[in-house]
A and B are shown apart, each in its own frame.
Chain A
């Protein structure tokens, strides 16, 4: 099980997001099905389009640092995905990247701190907190696991548990909030995709 530390490099970010893109391809119809009960049915397709654009942008720009790579990836997601997922996921990556600054590489603590900055930006933008049945429910426990010195696998497990916890929650943000109690039993699609993103930190993820 790969640790994030030491040294997440620009190439490491490329590999991480490549694994995430592959996972999104694999699970696109599952993500879309999660999105279907709230009348939208396009989360998987939108994210697929965004991640293909991210990989193309990284190949074209060849960013030198992990921070620059994440900023590029985040901006590309904002510009291609639309809906709420584009701004939220894009802001997560962009602000995580900005927090890494110009460093050549990021060790475990530096990455955990940067991902915390990304989480904070997502909360500021979307206004959701843990328990609202959004992507924050998957992201926050992953950040906490990394801050506690956990491995990428431990963060992935925490994110997966967080995503699963949205099954039993009444959504308070986003379009799912209109379902009210009828949303119980529904996993939040954003939380599910964040769980894939964090799982992709582990090198054996696919």
Chain B
């Protein structure tokens, strides 16, 4: 007999029920249960700004709070929520784009996964048919994918949060469409991430984990679904956080100079790792970064870009500029990220 281990009513309705719950506790959000689109409820918040560039993201569900949890003042205007680990279809992305559009065009923030890229691309064409100008910012921050000529390219992972926060703030300040997209591409070029899985995750309704990881093994260089990265290694008997910090920072530093840089830092949990452990990791990551001559400008620690209940971490950094720090500090009021507003 199948014994449920997940807090669900019907696994088949997991995404719909989660969005219904989000709607129930966040009147400042509009939740379109047909299209699985979450957008800002301007009637409630009174912050409608005609001509503001709309910021839309989305992707498979199961990465909460990404993306629906980042809809609100200072961040996204709308998020399209696909099935678990499956990109939304073009109709959903178009519905999100329409909801986010108030005349100034719309930026799509897209993680570099084949399904996300194709569906957002088709949605952008549909939006063009409706005279909504769309610019796409493709996030590909994951350093674990090295031979990108022979793969679908670097994946979009934790750095997505930097892009969404910075562009959200810039859009509130009235930045125009092309300028905003260029800023987004600059943030991507300054961002790098490296993920580690200590356990796999199981999608709702499935009776098996998405991949197998033996006790005592960890997978280095994962994407946000636990897809394999660089290699699988034994978990050290002691100093696990130190080892993960060392490996993650070394992988990032091999790819992008950190010496003398002031960084935005995200020490992200994959959903199954408690904050206590992430704080241990954060301390070790800061030690590694400062030993390499970097300074921590701003840091965020917690489960922000997750893979259901997977245990593990993702270290993301963005080389800051005064402008990026100012935009990072700008007010944000969303279910999952909130300061200064």
Contacts and interface: CB of A to CB of B under 8 A. Distances in A.
The judgment on whether A and B are partners is yes
Interface of A: 36-42, 46, 78-88, 125-126, 170-175, 177-180, 182
Interface of B: 60, 82-91, 113-115, 118-119, 121-122, 145, 147, 150-152, 155, 203, 206, 208, 210-211, 223, 225-229
Interface of A is mostly: helix
Nearest to A132: B150
B223 A41 contact: no
Contact of A178 (B86, B91, B210, B229): B229
Given A41-B206, A126-B118, A172-B150, A82 B211 contact: no
A83 B229 CA distance: 20
27 contacts: A36-B211, A38-B228, A40-B210, A41-B210, A42-B86, A46-B86, A78-B90, A78-B122, A79-B91, A80-B89, A82-B60, A82-B86, A82-B87, A83-B86, A83-B115, A83-B119, A84-B115, A85-B115, A126-B114, A173-B152, A174-B152, A175-B152, A177-B152, A178-B152, A179-B227, A180-B151, A182-B228
A134 B88 CA distance: 21
A149 B219 CA distance: 49
Interface of B is mostly: loop
A183 B86 CA distance: 21
Given A46-B83, A81-B89, A87 B155 contact: no
Given A36-B210, A87-B118, A126-B118, A79 B90 contact: yes
Given A81-B89, A170-B150, A125 B118 contact: yes
Nearest to A38: B227
A96 B33 CA distance: 33
Contacts of A84: 87, 114-115, 118
A41 B228 contact: no
Given A36-B210, A40-B85, A82-B115, 8 more contacts: A39-B225, A39-B227, A41-B85, A42-B83, A42-B84, A78-B122, A80-B89, A172-B152
A84 B60 CA distance: 12
Nearest to B223: A178
Nearest to A134: B114
B227 A42 contact: no
Contact of B211 (A39, A42, A83, A177): A39
Given A79-B90, A125-B118, A126-B118, A177 B82 contact: no
B122 A42 contact: no
Contacts of A182: 228
B83 A82 contact: yes
Contacts of A78: 89-90, 122
Given A83-B87, A87-B119, A179-B228, A39 B206 contact: no
A178 B155 contact: yes
B203 A41 contact: yes
A195 to B, nearest CB: 20
A175 B122 contact: no
Contacts of B150: 170, 172, 177
Contacts of A177: 150-152
A162 B111 CA distance: 30
A175 B227 contact: yes
Q: Which 10 interchain pairs have the tightest Cβ spacing? A: A177-B151, A83-B115, A87-B118, A84-B115, A39-B227, A39-B225, A84-B114, A82-B86, A39-B210, A39-B226
Contacts of B228: 38-39, 178-180, 182
Contacts of B85: 39-42
B227 A178 contact: yes
Contacts of A42: 83-86, 203
Contacts of B122: 78, 87
A178 B151 contact: yes
B201 to A, nearest CB: 9
A68 B88 CA distance: 25
A129 to B, nearest CB: 13
Which of B91, B115, B223, B226 has the most chain A CB atoms closer than 10 A to its own CB?
Answer: B115
A38 B212 CA distance: 11
A47 B90 CA distance: 16
B118 to A, nearest CB: 4
Nearest to B147: A180
Given A42-B203, A78-B122, A173 B90 contact: no
Contacts of B211: 36-37, 39
A179 B150 CA distance: 11
Nearest to A174: B114
Contacts of A178: 145, 151-152, 155, 223, 227-229
Nearest to A182: B228
Contacts of B60: 82
A175 B89 contact: no
A82 B119 contact: yes
Nearest to A172: B150
Contact of A39 (B83, B91, B145, B223): B223
